[in-house]
Structure 1
Amino acid sequence: MDAATFEQLVVEELDRLPDDMVDGLDNVVFVVEDRPEDGSLDLLGLYDGWSLTERDRYGSSGELPDRIILYRESHLAACETLEDLRDEVHTTLVHEIAHFYGIDDARLHELGWA
């Protein structure tokens, strides 16, 4: 799947998320990259920023946005069908958005999102 098609799939899955999950996202951008910096295919996504629970000040002007990154090639390597790919992108989005809200990997694992 080419980059443009994958990005469209990410947008579609983002649109399917509950409003109360995405409405609170402030100063966050979603980015698709081919692979993580180390070149591996092990990482599906990454939250790059400060979670709400770790911010001592929030919303000050001039701050760069936090980023939620989805790795296209990692997803493609992990999924055999389009349905599997949609499910994995959805799960990755929920997982990384949860990090924005301060939910750690241990709790996400307990909830079935890790």
Structure 2
Amino acid sequence: MIEMDAVAFDRLVTDELDLLPDEMLDGLDNLVFVVEDRPEDGSLDLLGLYDGLALTERDRYGMGELPDRIIVYREPHLHACDDLDELREEVHTTLVHEIAHFYGIDDERLHELGWA
């Protein structure tokens, strides 16, 4: 486990987002990235969550809709990692995983593509 305050973790998440390929980010629409300390149930098992309707399931989605969210949980990441390099890698993996869910890519397909 490593220690990192909320501001530094938020900066790390932003840095990792900036490193993702443009092709992965260009199609993101009506989506916000949020950093929270822990999931609502207080567990340390969940690293991230896509909260929204996948692109493949949208038929009448449009103006006036609240944005979907990708939530990255700080404390579970810190609990799971032993050093800064491992933390960066885990945040990167979480972002890719949750962005894939936005596009409607399930966990099995993520592994086939080598993204998870």
TM-score by length of 2: 0.93
Size of the alignment, in residue pairs? 113
Q: Match of 2:88, SS? A: helix
State the distance in 1 between where 2:5 and 2:70 align.
20
1:12 alignment partner in structure 2: 15
Which 4+ runs in 1 deviate beyond 6 A? none
State the distance in 1 between where 2:12 and 2:83 align.
13
Following TM superposition, by how much is the alpha carbon of 1:16 offset from its aligned partner in structure 2, in angstroms?
A: 0.2
Following TM superposition, by how much is the alpha carbon of 1:100 offset from its aligned partner in structure 2, in angstroms?
A: 0.3
State the distance in 2 between where 1:97 and 1:74 align.
19
Following TM superposition, by how much is the alpha carbon of 1:112 offset from its aligned partner in structure 2, in angstroms?
A: 4.1
State the distance in 1 between where 2:31 and 2:106 align.
18
AA aligned to 1:22 is L
Q: Match of 2:70, SS? A: strand
TM-score by length of 1: 0.95
Mark the runs of 5 or more structure 2 residues left unpaired by the alignment. Answer: none
1:110 alignment partner in structure 2: 112
The counterpart of 1:94, out of the listed 81, 93, 96, is 96
> Once superposed, what is the RMSD of the aligned Cα atoms?
1.0
Mark the runs of 5 or more structure 1 residues left unpaired by the alignment. Answer: none
Q: Match of 1:20, SS? A: helix
